[in-house]
Amino acid sequence: MLIKQSSNCWLENTALKHPERKAIISENYRITYKKLLENVKTTASNLYQIGIRKKDNVSILIGNSKIFPELINAIWFLGATPVPISTRLNKNEIEDQLKIVKSKFLIIENNFKANLKPPKNIKTIKCNALKSSIKIKPHSLKFNSKSNSVILFTSGSTQKPKAVVHTFKNMYESCKMLDREIKFNKNNIWLASLPFYHIGGFMIFVRSLLSATTLAIPKNKEALSKSIKIYNPTYISIVSTQLKKLLDENSEVNKNLNNVFLGGGPLEIKLCRNAVLKGFPITKIFGSTETCSMISILKPEMFDKKPMSSGKILIGVAVKIVDKNGNILKNKIGELKIKSKTMFRCYFNNPKVNYSNKFFYTNDVGWIDPDGYLFIDSRKDDIIISGGENISAVEVEQKIKNLTAVKDAFVFGLKDEKWGELVAAIVSLKINISEDDLRNKLKNNISSYKIPKKILFIKSIPKNEMGKINKTEIIKLFT
């Protein structure tokens, strides 16, 4: 059961109703909602004295830790908007994202990214600067559900990532939809099993807060199987890479586990079946940053019936399958367009949102069968989803083409048992260089997880008579 919306912020509502309930647990750390609210007010006082005000965009560059929920709530307390940024990005990518969202402040972990040089107009705040207790009353604002709640980045299909703006209202509606399906209760424990800077990880934190339940935050380097043993969670959200590792380690299913929400890209049916046989309550999901996480789920009891499906569409979501002209298709493959109260507000500083009559065109291709089950076939744009990370093939390809030794290149995702997909590149050279040389040159321009794991050098890239890449032929060359 979710807490009710009121003029108070979410944490105040939860702390007033359930003051002694555990809010966060971590290694040697336990805190109630009452104490968390006290800490948040102190942190908000610090942030207010530093200069953070209503409607400011405040970027956060920290890993999953107990300070994260405190910071987010303190920023909300002041009416500002948090912008979690991936800690896996390189220096240049971080600096680009700071510019995109026009952040005035950057809160960063101590000694993290020492060579980072934010734009001069951004004030950088180290986490340890927020520990002192400042005895001033923070400027608490009346809660407005229509205000911006968070800005999260998604890789998208272009070179520049899009900054997705969510409101408190659409995040609340997302939690309400899931609560209707799985029924939250006071004894639930949510494991922070995904990074908070992704929508999947951020919504773990939001669901625990709105349901007044406990959020378990493992140490950054703590193994997932070890975390499951320690915290005995009710819910975990993972991607296929994590699931494979759990099975490889012969991990046991903890007795409190109700659902393993599995998403983040292509899912091998054999992997899912093995997990089900092991006793894991696999719940396949489909969603995106724009839809505020899941909009369809395949519950464990549905798995044997429709293992290839992404499940039934949640109540409150309208999905239509359309052709390239927008005509509705029945029992045929086409593009998904979605309408829901969970949909994002806009892309920050980017007015181009593909909406039509409140339906959002997702670029995902699939169909709905006669029983009402959703199937996802592919994506219109070339997005590689490797280990749960969205990687733009266009971005990686352009970075390779920018190298002086390269004449032409094509980047795509190859199916892989461990990663779901891995980044592969076929490259035509002007000057002979080795695979290692090419990778080393890319390290200065893109994050390590985007660098191709498979590279094939070829005299000329296969193209058809229209000049388009012959992807089928390329895949044959790799296999």
Same domain, 38 and 182: yes
Residues 6+ apart with CB under 8 A from 248: none
Percent of the chain with pLDDT over 70: 91
Q: Give the mean model confidence (pLDDT) for residues 26-37.
A: 94
pLDDT in tens, 219-233: 866 689 999 999 999
Instruction: Look at residue 87 and tell me if it is in a domain.
Output: yes
Same domain, 469 and 356: no
Same domain, 162 and 117: yes
Of the residues 377, 402, 424, the one at which a domain ends: 377
Burial letters for 284-312: b for 16+ Cβ neighbours within 10 Å, e otherwise? bbbbbbbbbbbbbbbeeebbeebbebbbb
Q: How many domains does the chain have?
A: 2
Instruction: Look at residue 226 and tell me if it is in a domain.
Output: yes
- The DSSP secondary-structure symbol of 301 reads G
Same domain, 352 and 404: no
Of the residues 353, 377, 401, the one at which a domain ends: 377
What gap in Å lies between CA 352 and CA 349, rounded to an integer? 9
CATH number assigned to the domain comprising residue 418: 3.30.300.30
pLDDT in tens, 288-341: 999 999 999 999 988 889 998 999 999 999 999 998 888 999 888 899 999 999
Q: Give the mean model confidence (pLDDT) for residues 266-288.
A: 90
Instruction: Look at residue 4 and tell me if it is in a domain.
Output: no
Q: Give the mean model confidence (pLDDT) for residues 430-457.
A: 92
Among 235, 232, 166, CA closest to 207: 235
| Mean pLDDT over the full length of the chain | 88
Confidence of residue 468 (pLDDT cuts 50, 70, 90): low
Instruction: Look at residue 126 and tell me if it is in a domain.
Output: yes
Residue 59 identity: S
Residue 371 identity: D
Is residue 373 over pLDDT 60? Answer: yes
Residue 89: helix, strand or coil by DSSP?
coil
Same domain, 184 and 150: yes
Confidence of residue 365 (pLDDT cuts 50, 70, 90): confident
Same domain, 335 and 231: yes
Question: Tell me, what's the pLDDT at 354?
Answer: 66
Same domain, 348 and 412: no
Same domain, 331 and 414: no
Confidence of residue 158 (pLDDT cuts 50, 70, 90): very low
Instruction: Look at residue 319 and tell me if it is in a domain.
Output: yes
pLDDT in tens, 167-218: 999 999 999 999 999 999 999 999 999 999 999 999 999 999 999 999 999 9
Same domain, 123 and 236: yes
What gap in Å lies between CA 265 and CA 287, rounded to an integer? 10
What gap in Å lies between CA 368 and CA 311, rounded to an integer? 10
Is residue 268 over pLDDT 80? Answer: no
Phi, psi dihedrals of residue 111, rounded to the nearest 5°: 65, 15
3-state SS track over 212-232: CCEEECCCCCCCHHHHHHHHC
Is residue 381 over pLDDT 80? Answer: no
CATH number assigned to the domain comprising residue 368: 3.40.50.12780
Beta-sheet strands, E only, within 6-76: 22-26, 29-32, 57-61
Same domain, 391 and 363: no
Instruction: Look at residue 88 and tell me if it is in a domain.
Output: yes
Under 8 Å between Cβ of 321 and 290: no
Structural domain containing residue 185: 10-377
Beta-sheet strands, E only, within 158-234: 162-167, 189-191, 214-216
**How many CA atoms does the CB half-sphere of 50 hold within 13 Å?**
26
Same domain, 312 and 332: yes
Lowest mean pLDDT among 67-71, 93-97, 116-120: 116-120
Of the residues 377, 407, 426, the one at which a domain ends: 377
What gap in Å lies between CA 445 and CA 399, rounded to an integer? 7
Instruction: Look at residue 454 and tell me if it is in a domain.
Output: yes
Q: Please report which residue ranges of 292-392 form alpha helices under DSSP H.
A: none
Instruction: Look at residue 266 and tell me if it is in a domain.
Output: yes
Same domain, 83 and 159: yes
Under 8 Å between Cβ of 218 and 227: yes
